[in-house]
């Protein structure tokens, strides 16, 4: 009995040593031609987006609440989380194939044999009992097929976890942009109401001047047209607000709660106004979509090892150890010990064409993943570069439009005074009102675009993952 145990232990040890060998090609990260720095990264030194949680970036408590709800209820993110968990379980299954599967067995049987069949001419009752442990078809991973499959499953899990992170990051940015559009629409409504009130007040004065014969009916009709235009702008802003709220409802997967905190104006949406991009290599490490592409490449690399191992023999071990007896009371006595050991070898002979084709497919998929990785890196670099150049130009445009708006507002104030004293004509007043309103509208629209750009840049730089990254490490550790 001791001799059998020694052989079993030696076999398991040998299998563990031999299974360290795999036929996976050595992984080399593809080199992608991108610049070391970004051209319009003028923010200077500061906190990196990847180390900045979204709670520390966005300032509006109303937006915070919406993002919290979305992270809990959004269907796309929940699907990504469940998909990552599925891949984690699949990796655990593949990893467990590296170890023997030991099962416990037990059976008891009592049967009567007919006299004509007993051989003695007398009927008899027979009994048999057995208990034991068995190893069913444990593959000695001499050429690393099982280990390569386990590695492929692990990289598949990492890929799904990175895709989950990408969904998380995209969701944060999407909620923020939808919320900015809601706030923009509300401020556009307020602007249209202010302009409408001003135009109605001016119209009242113009009616008096028309009765006095100072201005013509044409001037009144033009002011009436401007009043109706302001009303139409207000209704359009209402429609935009409701559209944004509908988008938010989809993102949080429920109607907007009634108890949301009071929101902040558009000018106070961010705690940090300018994020530095840093080195392009740092950005690529922080982007979950780039990480997902690299994990997919590593998975394809591991699949080549499994395809190569298929060319070599597969050795499986089947064995059992236990007790068997015709008398239950004697079942566990020494003479009734039983064991069996039955290795089997499978050698590929006439399937080399299929095996070679499988290896060729694995190599082609690896090449396809290399191309996908390069595309992901280039796309990430483009996202950051576009967001940076947009930030630079939007800041300058917003500053110029703000000055223009103030100038037109002051001009309108002066023209309005001159009109009340009969110095300026109604046409001068109409032109001043149109110019001032158009300038204010441009400023508001540019402000929205700037806010959306800040959310896009935060996403492009891999921001918003600080808290999630620490949580995501736990499943990886348990999977190992």
Name the DSSP letter for residue 58. Answer: B
Task: Evaluate whether residue 224 is within a structural domain.
Answer: no
Task: Evaluate whether residue 446 is within a structural domain.
Answer: yes
- For the stretch 472-475, contacts whose Cβ atoms lie closer than 8 Å and that sit 24 or more positions apart, written own/partner, are 472/161, 472/164, 472/165, 475/84, 475/85, 475/88, 475/161
Q: Which residue has the tokens 């000018």?
A: 267
The more confident residue out of 193 and 353 is: 193
Task: Evaluate whether residue 215 is within a structural domain.
Answer: no
Cα angle for residues 295, 300, 303 (degrees, 5° grid): 130
**124-140 and 344-346 as β-strands: parallel, antiparallel, unpaired?**
unpaired
Is residue 342's pLDDT more than 70?
A: yes
Cα angle for residues 101, 105, 110 (degrees, 5° grid): 160
- Quick: pLDDT tens for 87-99: 999 998 888 888 7
pLDDT of residue 419: 82
pLDDT of residue 8: 45
Task: Name the token pair of 397.
Answer: 């445009």
Task: Evaluate whether residue 424 is within a structural domain.
Answer: yes
pLDDT band at 478 (very low <50, low <70, confident <90, very high): very low
Domain of residue 467, CATH code:
1.20.1600.10
Mean pLDDT score, 320-332: 77
Task: Evaluate whether residue 178 is within a structural domain.
Answer: yes
Task: Evaluate whether residue 152 is within a structural domain.
Answer: yes
pLDDT of residue 471: 43
- Domain tally for the chain? 1
Of the candidates 464, 478, 477, which has an alpha carbon nearest to the alpha carbon of residue 71? 464
- Quick: pLDDT tens for 437-448: 999 999 999 999
Task: Evaluate whether residue 3 is within a structural domain.
Answer: no
- Quick: pLDDT tens for 369-415: 999 999 999 999 999 999 999 999 999 999 999 999 999 999 999 99
Mean pLDDT score, 163-170: 94
pLDDT band at 116 (very low <50, low <70, confident <90, very high): confident
Is residue 202's pLDDT more than 90?
A: no
Task: Name the token pair of 146.
Answer: 């099982």
The more confident residue out of 149 and 340 is: 149
Task: Name the token pair of 25.
Answer: 């090609």
Strands in 332-429 per DSSP E: 337-341, 344-346
Contacts of 52 (CB under 8 A, 6+ apart): 272, 275, 458, 463, 464, 466
pLDDT of residue 207: 86
pLDDT of residue 177: 97
Is residue 13's pLDDT more than 70?
A: no
Mean pLDDT score, 264-284: 87
Range of the domain at 292: 21-110+124-200+239-479
Is residue 336's pLDDT more than 80?
A: no
Task: Evaluate whether residue 208 is within a structural domain.
Answer: no
- Quick: pLDDT tens for 242-266: 999 999 999 999 999 999 999 999 9
Q: Which residue has the tokens 């051209």?
A: 39
């Amino acid at each position: 009995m001791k001799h059998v145990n020694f052989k079993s232990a030696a076999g398991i040890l040998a299998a563990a040593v031999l299974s360290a060998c795999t036929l996976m090609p050595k992984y080399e990260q593809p080199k992608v031609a991108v610049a070391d720095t970004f051209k319009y990264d003028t923010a200077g030194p500061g906190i990196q987006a990847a180390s900045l949680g979204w709670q520390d970036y966005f300032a509006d408590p109303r937006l915070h609440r919406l993002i919290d709800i979305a992270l809990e209820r959004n269907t796309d993110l929940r699907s990504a989380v469940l998909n990552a968990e599925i891949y984690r379980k699949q990796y655990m299954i593949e990893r467990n194939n590296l170890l023997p599967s030991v099962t416990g067995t037990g059976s008891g049987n009592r049967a009567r044999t007919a006299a004509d069949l007993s051989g003695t001419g007398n009927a008899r009752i027979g009994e048999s009992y057995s208990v034991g442990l068995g190893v069913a078809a444990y593959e000695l991973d001499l050429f690393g097929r099982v280990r390569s499959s386990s590695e492929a499953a692990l990289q598949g899990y990492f890929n799904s976890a990175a895709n989950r992170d990408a969904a998380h990051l995209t969701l944060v940015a999407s909620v923020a942009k939808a919320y900015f559009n809601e706030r923009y629409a509300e401020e556009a409504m307020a602007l249209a109401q202010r302009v409408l009130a001003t135009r109605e007040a001016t119209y009242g004065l113009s009616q008096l001047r028309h009765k006095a014969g100072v201005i013509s009916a044409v001037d009144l009709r033009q002011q009436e047209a401007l009043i109706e235009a302001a009303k139409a702008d207000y209704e359009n802003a209402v429609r935009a607000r409701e559209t944004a709220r509908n988008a938010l409802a989809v993102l949080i997967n429920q109607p907007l709660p009634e108890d949301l905190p009071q929101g902040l104006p558009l000018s106070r949406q961010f705690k940090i106004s300018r994020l530095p991009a840093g080195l392009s290599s740092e950005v690529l490490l922080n982007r979950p979509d780039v990480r997902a592409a690299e994990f997919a490449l590593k998975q394809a690399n591991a699949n080549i090892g499994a395809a190569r191992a298929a060319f070599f023999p597969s050795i499986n071990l089947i064995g059992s150890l236990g007790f068997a007896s015709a008398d239950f009371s004697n079942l566990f006595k020494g003479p009734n010990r039983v064991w069996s050991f039955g290795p089997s070898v499978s050698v590929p002979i006439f399937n080399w064409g299929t095996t070679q084709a499988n290896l060729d497919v694995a190599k082609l998929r690896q090449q396809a993943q290399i191309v996908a990785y390069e595309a992901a890196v280039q796309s990430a670099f483009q996202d950051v570069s576009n967001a940076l150049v947009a930030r630079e130009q939007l800041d300058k445009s917003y500053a110029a439009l703000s000055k223009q708006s103030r100038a037109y507002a002051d001009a309108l104030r002066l023209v309005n005074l001159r009109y009340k004293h009969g110095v300026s004509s109604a046409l001068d007043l109409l032109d001043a009102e149109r110019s001032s309103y158009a300038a204010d509208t441009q400023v508001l629209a540019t402000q929205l675009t700037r806010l959306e750009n800040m959310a896009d840049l935060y996403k492009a730089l891999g921001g918003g993952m600080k808290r999630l990254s620490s949580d995501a490490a736990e499943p990886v550790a348990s999977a190992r």
